[in-house]
Every structure is written in structure tokens, then in C-alpha cells.
């Protein structure tokens, strides 16, 4: 019998309470940072890294040479119910146009798995919708570090 898939239900998102000055933190650094939960996460875009594929067509070869180019951290858009909380206040402060600081963030799943990331937070978008929609707010996380994963042991 196959194991059930892990869903996002019961998971959470948190942001560091202060900017991060280390441009290349490791796992032990993330475990030492202080995080504040940002409640009511509704959805998150994809994290990870995207690598450019570079090619150079040449006349004398039937197969175009290609390889890896620049790599860029994915910039997920993360959406919350628009509710005031200490974590939401940090997100709004981090997203100020004049704030160029990096912040650490942490996704935690219900089984204890953790994903750490770091980067800047873009300005909020205040989502509207129809009469039966709820107030939501979204931010784009500007990833400046490959994700670091910690898997819970069963």
C-alpha cells in the first residue's frame, strides 16, 4: 500500500523578526533565527531554482550545443487572509519600497518537514474579488538563496 501524499493542510509560514545580514546563511544559522508566524496562509507559489538553458547554434554540427546558464531563485507569490498580526506587520515592514533588506522565511508542514528560504519581500497586493470573496493580501518573495530542507524523521 502506498503512503498518503503530504498536503499543505496544517502547514504554516513564518518570517524572521529582523533582517538577515548574512548573505549566505546555512542550516545552523536558520535554526538560530527568531521567526514570527504569519497566520492564515491560503496559498504559495513554487519555490526552488530556475536555470537558464543556453544554446549556440553552429553551422557544422547537426545538434546545437547547450548547457546550463544563470540560475535564479523562484519568486513565489504568497497569499494570506488580510488580518492584522505581528507576523503580518513584519511582512508589511519588510515589503516597504525603501526596505532593501533580506529576511528569512520558513514553511513548516504538519508532519514537521521544514523549508527555509531568504530574500526580499515585495510590496503587498490587496486582493479584492466579488461580493462573497474575503479580504486577502499577497506578497512576492524574492529568493536570494537556494531552499534548505529539513525532513522530519518518522
Higher per-residue confidence, 1 vs 70: 70
- Determine how many CB atoms are found less than 10 A away from the CB of residue 108: 19
Asked if 108 and 35 touch (Cβ cutoff 8 Å), the reply is no
pLDDT at 2 over 90: no
Which run of H or E residues covers position 140? strand 136-143
- Predicted confidence at residue 129, as pLDDT, reads 86
- Predicted confidence at residue 67, as pLDDT, reads 95
Query: Which pTM does this prediction carry?
Result: 0.90
- Predicted confidence at residue 5, as pLDDT, reads 86
- Predicted confidence at residue 35, as pLDDT, reads 98
- Could you give the CA distance from residue 18 to residue 34 in angstroms, rounded to a whole number? 8
- Predicted confidence at residue 12, as pLDDT, reads 97
Phi, psi (rounded to 5 degrees) for 128: -110, -95
Look at residues 107, 108, 98 and name the one whose alpha carbon lies nearest to residue 141. Answer: 107
Amino acid at each position: 500500500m502506498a503512503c498518503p501524499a503530504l498536503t499543505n493542510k496544517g502547514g504554516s509560514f513564518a518570517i524572521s523578526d529582523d533582517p538577515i545580514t548574512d548573505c549566505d546563511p546555512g542550516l545552523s544559522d536558520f535554526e538560530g533565527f527568531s521567526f514570527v508566524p504569519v497566520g492564515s496562509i491560503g496559498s504559495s507559489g513554487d519555490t526552488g531554482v530556475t536555470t537558464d538553458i543556453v544554446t549556440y547554434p553552429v553551422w557544422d554540427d547537426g545538434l546545437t550545443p547547450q548547457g546550463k546558464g544563470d540560475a535564479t531563485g523562484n519568486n513565489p507569490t504568497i497569499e494570506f487572509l488580510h488580518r492584522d498580526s505581528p507576523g503580518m506587520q513584519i511582512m508589511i515592514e519588510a515589503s516597504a519600497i525603501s526596505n532593501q533588506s533580506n529576511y528569512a522565511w520558513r514553511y513548516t508542514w504538519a508532519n514537521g518537514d521544514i523549508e527555509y528560504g531568504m530574500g526580499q519581500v515585495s510590496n503587498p497586493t490587496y486582493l479584492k474579488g466579488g461580493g462573497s470573496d474575503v479580504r486577502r493580501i499577497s506578497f512576492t518573495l524574492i529568493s536570494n538563496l537556494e531552499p534548505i530542507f529539513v525532513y522530519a524523521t518518522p
